Amino acid sequence: MNLEDARHFYIDGRWVAPSSGATIAVVDPATEAVIGSIAAGTAEDVDKAVIAARRAFATFSIAPVEERRALLQRIAELMEARSEELAFAMTAEMGTAIGFARSSQVPLAIAHLRAMVELLGSYDFLARKGTTAIVREPIGICGLITPWNWPLYQITAKLAPALAAGCTVVLKPSELSPLSALLFARIMQDAGTPPGVFNLVNGTGEEVGAAIAAHPGIDMVSITGSVRAGVLVAQAAAVTVKRVVQELGGKSPNILLPDADFERAVPLGITSAFRNVGQSCSAPTRMIVPADRLDEVEALARHHVGTIVVGDPRNPQTTLGPIANKAQFNRVQQMIAVGIAEGARLLCGGPGKPTGLDTGHFVRPTIFSGVTGGMRIAQEEIFGPVLCIMPYKTEEEAVAIANDTVFGLGGHVQSANLDSARRVARQIRSGQVHINHPAWDAHAPFGGYKHSGNGREYGLFGLEECLETKAILGYFPS
């Protein structure tokens, strides 16, 4: 990528110099080498971006729907054309395996744009209810704060509905994985996005994120991140009474009912839990299994972990690359040690790095069994390839274990009987539940109960988070 872009922000359709000379290093987690640096923004830079977004909103908010739809289509096409560059950027900045970047990180990000293109073909921004018109109008300027674990996917998950609604945007990508966001900004420029519609300001959450949350010129803030970050954003945003959408942490359950196909369900459950090196907020990291099948589950788990390849993320044969950054690596190591100290049975993995991988933030895929609800590893989000196997005796107990958490983002149920799976899925207190590992759906609303956040992303529900509802009485003749 153009290294000059990394030292600039994209504001009002141009690459502009930051207000300060401060920079943030970008580290390759596979080598621990500094591979570049980005400009560190300030509240002054955020203010410039908001001014540009406000000016652009006056025209973009009333642009014909087909113009917005065409813009989203052009962005998607450019992302597809530059998919290799985007994939390699994410491998460099946060260590995602190149095969996973190609198969998931990039195409699923594009899918959010495609979903909005499809939705805009039929969405009615004005509906009639008797003589009253129900009008859906863009909320205004959207401040988007995105995470390091799915750096491109979470940008498009937020940006696509905002643009589809007619909003303009100020984006703060994670300072820990900023390269793909800078490439995306270049795509936005090359797609012919009107000046001010999309603005990017790099920087820390403490500086740029806080400025976005508190800015009186921003009408809505959407954040994906930790519970702590979500709380801070909500507190800062409360003063200006702006809408806040939070997609935060998770500790998702995966219930295997007794009639499930265990030879299929156990390997798929581990793969889902360890996807993206376990750095997914909805990862099903608690596998809840019948107590009388525990030995069978453990044997299947050990066998499957033996097929996982940890190593150089640039190697297409690699399954899991490194943890994305040093702080998260330390957190994962700490929680593995906690699990051992709590008395959970270590089936495989454990503390330290895999043999032969002394450099880089690599961890050993780890599975604990005999985990109980009172253990920290059963309650806290670890955000690494660490799975807890928890036994149950009755279906009611399985559901109780699943719901015994402050989180409520995702859930899984495995059963040969669809009625049984549906019955259990309805009882899980989370924003999404997957039955028998279905295909991903870009239109399925995503968001959490409890400490997992407020609001929904993706598809229709994501679009409507970016809209205000206006009733115009007497709009239609009686």
pLDDT band at 232 (very low <50, low <70, confident <90, very high): very high
- pLDDT tens-digit map of 155-184: 999 999 999 999 999 999 999 999 999 999
381 is catalytic: no
Q: Is the pTM of this model over 0.85?
A: yes
The Cα–Cα gap between 141 and 149 comes to 25
The Cα–Cα gap between 102 and 152 comes to 12
Inside any domain, residue 447: no
The Cα–Cα gap between 422 and 438 comes to 13
201, 345: one domain: no
Inside any domain, residue 478: no
Kind and range of the H or E run holding 222: strand 220-224
- pLDDT tens-digit map of 343-367: 999 999 999 999 999 999 999 999 9
The Cα–Cα gap between 401 and 317 comes to 36
Rounded to whole angstroms, what are the CA distances from 263 to 268, 270, 400, 460? 9, 12, 25, 36
188, 328: one domain: no
What's the rounded mean pLDDT across residues 217-244? 97
**CATH code of the domain containing 265:** 3.40.309.10
Inside any domain, residue 17: yes
What's the rounded mean pLDDT across residues 25-54? 97
**Range of the structural domain that residue 220 is part of:** 3-248+452-472
Inside any domain, residue 45: yes
411, 460: one domain: no
106, 8: one domain: yes
- pLDDT tens-digit map of 253-273: 999 999 999 999 999 999 999
Point out which residues pair with 169 in neighbouring strands: 142, 198
Inside any domain, residue 273: yes
- The tokens for 185 are 């900004």
347, 201: one domain: no
Pairing of strands 33-39, 23-28: antiparallel
pLDDT band at 6 (very low <50, low <70, confident <90, very high): confident
207 is catalytic: no
Inside any domain, residue 409: yes
Q: Is the predicted pLDDT of residue 133 greater than 70, yes or no?
A: yes
The Cα–Cα gap between 266 and 264 comes to 6
Q: Domain tally for the chain?
A: 2
Q: Looking at residue 5, what is its pLDDT?
A: 66
Q: Is the predicted pLDDT of residue 2 greater than 80, yes or no?
A: no
228, 265: one domain: no
232, 377: one domain: no
The Cα–Cα gap between 90 and 157 comes to 17
Task: Single out the catalytic residue among 247, 298, 457, 464.
Answer: 247
pLDDT band at 1 (very low <50, low <70, confident <90, very high): low
What's the rounded mean pLDDT across residues 419-435? 98
**CATH code of the domain containing 80:** 3.40.605.10
Inside any domain, residue 477: no
Inside any domain, residue 129: yes
Q: Looking at residue 3, what is its pLDDT?
A: 52
242, 260: one domain: no
265, 216: one domain: no
Question: Can you say whether the dihedral through the CA atoms of 257, 262, 266, 268 is positive or negative?
Answer: negative
398, 458: one domain: no
202, 325: one domain: no
Three-state DSSP string of 352-408: CCCCCCCCCCCCEEEEEECCCCCCHHHHCCCCCCEEEEEEECCHHHHHHHHHCCCCC
Please work out, in degrees rounded to the nearest 5, the angle formed at the alpha carbon of residue 16 by the alpha carbons of 11 and 21.
120
Q: Looking at residue 208, what is its pLDDT?
A: 98
The Cα–Cα gap between 99 and 87 comes to 9
- pLDDT tens-digit map of 42-78: 999 999 999 999 999 999 999 999 999 999 999 999 9
According to DSSP, residue 217 is labeled T
240, 283: one domain: no
Task: Single out the catalytic residue among 281, 348, 388, 466.
Answer: 281
